[in-house]
């Protein structure tokens, strides 16, 4: 199978996606909102609580931009079981409304040789129809095992872990059925539900969606560092370093800085599952 290296620089036609308050709430529940205390995050999980205005988790922007608004660009042929999500970032210029529309274009920005596989990087930009400024910009990298060897090196990442203990340590839980709930937001990849497909990819059982882990962590960081206020969210990025299995507990180690905060996420075996994280607030 061969990747299409000429895909770099190609941009999709604009595609409009819309969402409803129910879809925003379903996403929030899918990434654990209300899981530990059903009354703690009503702004994200209900639309009719007295004195509580409905809000939208900022990481829902990734679902809108990439999984619902992203157009399939021709990056060549490969075994889909060999593809894993490698890196993800999202930037917002303001809070997402409870209902709305975005006009989205997607661009392949790079295909890089990592030896044992290829790293395919893309960017999606979502604008409110009629607006000049993007409300949501997402950047995503996927690693396709077995597709390396074409000799195009990738850029270096300057992220470095601070040489001090974390300033904040947060905990977050995932449920055994987390993937079944999260997939209803639009990511129906069988890697997360089908034991036979997961086995072909080399896993003992289905793994949790990387973007579910990302949303769980983003929700925890927003609550702890921004009092749960989406208006203060500017951006978040991270690298998926090890799969999370549904039911695992997560520990989020945060180093607070003058610029974006940095974080790492480990599972209950102290293995890093989300690395090189940044979290920026307004």
The residues annotated as belonging to the active site are 187, 192
Give me the numbers of helices (H) and strands (E) for the chain, helices first please.
6, 10
Closest CA to 109 of 68, 139, 70, 150: 139
Rounded distance between C-alpha atoms, residue 232 and residue 122, angstroms: 26
Closest CA to 54 of 69, 33, 74: 33
**13 CB-side CA count, 13 A:** 0
**Coil, helix or strand at residue 27:** helix
List the beta bridge partners of residue 92. Answer: 136
> What region, left, alpha or beta, does residue 264 occupy, with left being phi > 0 and alpha being psi -120 to 50 degrees?
beta
Q: Token pair for residue 98? A: 């409870």
Q: Token pair for residue 217? A: 């962590």
At residue 170, what are phi and psi to the nearest 5 degrees? -110, 155
Burial 180-218 (b: 16+ CB within 10 A, else e): ebbbebbbebbbbbeeebbeebebeebbbbbbbbbbbbb
> Are 144 and 118 contacting, i.e. CB atoms less than 8 angstroms apart?
yes
């Amino acid at each position: 199978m061969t990747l299409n290296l000429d895909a770099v620089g190609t941009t999709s036609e604009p595609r409009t996606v819309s969402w409803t308050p129910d879809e925003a709430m379903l996403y929030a529940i899918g990434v654990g909102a209300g899981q530990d205390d059903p009354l703690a995050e009503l702004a994200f999980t209900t639309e009719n609580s007295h004195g509580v205005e409905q809000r939208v988790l900022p990481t829902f922007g990734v679902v809108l931009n990439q999984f619902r608004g992203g157009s399939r660009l021709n990056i060549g042929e490969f075994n889909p079981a060999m593809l894993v999500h490698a890196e993800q970032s999202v930037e917002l210029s303001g809070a997402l409304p409870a209902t709305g529309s975005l006009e989205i274009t997607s661009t392949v920005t790079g295909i890089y040789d990592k030896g044992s596989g290829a790293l395919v990087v893309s960017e999606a930009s979502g604008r409110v129809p009629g607006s000049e400024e993007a409300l949501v910009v997402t950047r995503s990298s996927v690693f396709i095992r077995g597709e390396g060897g074409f000799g195009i090196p990738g850029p270096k990442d300057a992220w470095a872990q601070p040489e001090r203990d974390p300033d904040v340590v947060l905990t977050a839980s995932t449920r055994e059925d987390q993937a079944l709930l999260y997939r209803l937001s639009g990511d129906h990849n069988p890697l997360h539900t089908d034991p036979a497909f997961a086995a072909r990819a080399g896993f003992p059982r289905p793994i949790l969606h990387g973007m579910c882990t990302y949303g769980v962590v983003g929700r925890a960081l927003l609550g702890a560092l921004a009092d749960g206020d989406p208006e203060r969210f500017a951006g978040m990025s991270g690298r998926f370093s090890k799969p999370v299995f549904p039911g695992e507990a997560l520990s989020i180690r945060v180093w607070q800085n003058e610029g974006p905060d940095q974080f790492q996420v480990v599972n209950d075996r102290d293995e890093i599952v989300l690395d090189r994280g940044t979290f920026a607030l307004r």
